[in-house]
């Protein structure tokens, strides 16, 4: 089974969590794209979606699913999104696609966060995948110096701007033993908008695609 087939399988499993009449929070990336394609089958039953990126909003609209503003929906019953790394504690690294800030907002506003990954994303400790940090452009060098002082190796994502007009520093060489603490510490650096650790608000359900089927891990 290919990695993409495992992503499709978890997308199919995730849609089982969605109920008619709901506004669905939708993430970003190739696994989230599969979820959007499967969700399209329910478009007459759901009340719409809140997207974590312009790319996902466009894909949702392409399927005829109404995209709503989070300010007009109130709390959401569910958020479905992928991740770049996940531990058995349901702590995640996200932001490979650069949408981490809006992803974190929609996850925070949702009652249940269903994270969909293939088995290659499962790790014992976060950090092998470079940690994305969204930064206000004028603070890029300042934030990079502080991240380097914390033992990381920040690399500017060249030629990339987030949907919010900011830059991303991908921080290599971190072995993250306490993701809750590190998430807060990085967020407190002046100029940081958010970072890709999802530990203070982890996933509630992790659906893992494997060659032998989809495994469900709950917190």
Question: Residues marked as binding for substrate?
Answer: 28-31, 81-84, 94-97, 121
The CB-of-94 to ligand 5RP minimum distance in angstroms stands at 3
Q: Does 30 bind ligand 5RP (CB under 6 A)?
A: yes
What the block records as the tokens of 66 is 């109404």
Residue 103 annotated as catalytic: yes
Contact with ligand 5RP (CB under 6 A) among 10, 23, 28, 38 = 28
Q: Does 82 bind ligand 5RP (CB under 6 A)?
A: yes
What the block records as the tokens of 165 is 């007009």
Q: Does 25 bind ligand 5RP (CB under 6 A)?
A: no
Q: Does 130 bind ligand 5RP (CB under 6 A)?
A: no
Q: Does 99 bind ligand 5RP (CB under 6 A)?
A: yes
Looking at the Cβ atoms of 134 and 147, the one nearer to ligand 5RP is 134
Contact with ligand 5RP (CB under 6 A) among 97, 154, 179, 202 = 97
The CB-of-90 to ligand 5RP minimum distance in angstroms stands at 14
Q: Does 199 bind ligand 5RP (CB under 6 A)?
A: no
What the block records as the tokens of 23 is 């506004």
Contact with ligand 5RP (CB under 6 A) among 87, 94, 126, 193 = 94
User: What does the binding site for ligand 5RP look like in residue numbers (CB under 6 A)?
Assistant: 27-31, 81-84, 94-100, 103
């Amino acid at each position: 089974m290919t990695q993409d087939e495992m992503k499709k399988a978890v997308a199919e499993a995730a849609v089982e969590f969605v109920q008619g009449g709901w506004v669905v929070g939708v993430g970003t990336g190739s696994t989230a794209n599969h979820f959007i394609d499967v969700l399209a089958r329910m478009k007459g039953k759901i009340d719409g979606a809140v997207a974590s990126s312009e790319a996902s909003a466009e894909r949702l609209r392409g399927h005829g699913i109404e995209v709503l503003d989070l300010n007009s929906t109130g709390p959401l019953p569910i958020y479905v999104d992928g991740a770049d790394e996940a531990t058995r504690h349901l702590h995640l690294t996200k932001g490979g696609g650069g949408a981490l800030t809006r992803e974190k907002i929609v996850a925070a506003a949702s009652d249940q966060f269903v994270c969909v990954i293939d088995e290659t994303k499962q790790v014992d400790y976060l950090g092998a995948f470079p940690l994305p940090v969204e930064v206000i452009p004028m603070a890029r060098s300042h934030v990079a110096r502080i991240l380097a002082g914390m033992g990381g190796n920040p690399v500017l994502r060249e030629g990339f701007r987030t949907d919010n007009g900011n830059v991303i520093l991908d921080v290599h060489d971190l072995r993250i033993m306490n993701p809750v603490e590190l998430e807060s510490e990085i967020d407190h650096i002046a100029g940081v908008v958010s970072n890709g650790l999802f530990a203070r608000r982890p996933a509630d359900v992790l659906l893992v695609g494997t060659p032998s089927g989809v495994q469900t891990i709950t917190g």
